[in-house]
Amino acid sequence: MEVHSPQNLDLPPLRINRRAARLGIEESPDVKALIETKLLLDPAFIAVVAELLTRTKQMAKEVENAQREDFDLSTLNLAVGTSLVLPPSGLVTQIVSSSPSVNLSSQYWQECSTRILNPEDFKKWVIEERAKTVRQVIAISNDIQNKVSGFESERHREFPILITTTLYVCRECSRIVSAESFHALRCQCGREISTIESVLQVPIRQLGQNMTRFIESNYWLEHGVAHVLRQKNIDTLVGLEVLGHSGVWHEIDVIGESRQLNYRILCECKNSDLKAGDVFTFFGKMSDIGCTRGYMFTTNSEVSLLIFRLARSKNISIVANVMQRPSSELIGELTDI
């Protein structure tokens, strides 16, 4: 906890707390680069970021599934070259019996049962499927980089918001054995992977975990609103907990302070519909903290007249449709600061 009592402001000090988890997210170089773009309320930019997030999750799912596939190809070594007369489904049942986690009803193994006639063919098919997954991951990574590059060309500036992750792929069976860091282990094909030379290193570009949390937690909206306030010479604090008179900590999205007018406002940022309960909750925070003026910013374009009236009765202004309006128009709604 620290006391916030800036010079040249004759306002009651605030006891504030910066959550370590959030601070770690916002101090990440890629997240800082995103904030510094000052485009967090630009609909075209946010649309690109949302698409990058979708593609990053697709890629993560591919990698996760590849690492979870735990069939031990080394168990087939004794059967290679043996002539089998079992029907395909019987063969698959036999060769996966040593891997109880395998779901025989899955599409993956159903396809095996229709195509595989002997263990050698099965091994080749699994290796090809693993290689196909690696190629798919690379294709998604390329797509992500192309989207960023295209937007950079359009805006004539760089956006260093991607991170590089390295996948480590077994040279023998094309299985993704680890991601992000190398670990010595025995691959399921039987190969001992003891040195980095034993694997193929595949660098991929994507949004990092901190960036994902920053976007999904709607922190981007809070920083976008803070940028609008700063354009009106308002100092801002973003994403803090403030201790109320009751002894309860309240999460406040943005605190705005005008040194010129000796004035403080609290801001709530919503990437969803505004409801009456949201207004009452925010007003309760304001009252406990001791701030009489509030603003609620929302990406929603349709806010009912009743909600506007309720907010106004609590000395709260609602600024709606923030993603589709220029900054000058949003600044114009800040009538008393």
Decide if 251 is inside a domain: yes
Q: Give the end of a domain, one of 194, 213, 232.
A: 213
User: What parts of the chain have a pLDDT lower than 70?
Assistant: 70-118
Its domain, for residue 113, covers 37-213
What's residue 285's pLDDT? 98
What's residue 210's pLDDT? 97
How remote is the C-alpha of 13 from its chain's centroid? Answer: 34
Same domain, 146 and 7: no
What's residue 229's pLDDT? 96
Measured distance CA(212)–CA(25) in Å, rounded: 9
Rg (CA), the chain: 28
For residue 87, the 8-state DSSP code is -
Residues forming a β-bridge with 241 = 17, 251
Q: Which two tokens stand for residue 110?
A: 């159903």
What's residue 102's pLDDT? 47
Measured distance CA(117)–CA(120) in Å, rounded: 9
Same domain, 258 and 168: no
What's residue 30's pLDDT? 97
Measured distance CA(237)–CA(223) in Å, rounded: 9
Same domain, 144 and 234: no
Decide if 337 is inside a domain: no
Reduced 3-state DSSP string for 3-27: EECCCCCCCCCEEEECCHHHHHHHC
Same domain, 15 and 118: no
Q: Give the end of a domain, one of 213, 245, 270.
A: 213
Provide the number of structural domains found in the chain. 2
Decide if 106 is inside a domain: yes
Q: pTM higher than 0.85, yes or no? A: no
Reduced 3-state DSSP string for 162-229: CEEEEEEEECCCCCEEEECCCCCEECCCCCEECCHHHEEEEEEEECCHHHHHHHHCCHHHHHHHHHHH
Q: Give the end of a domain, one of 152, 181, 213.
A: 213
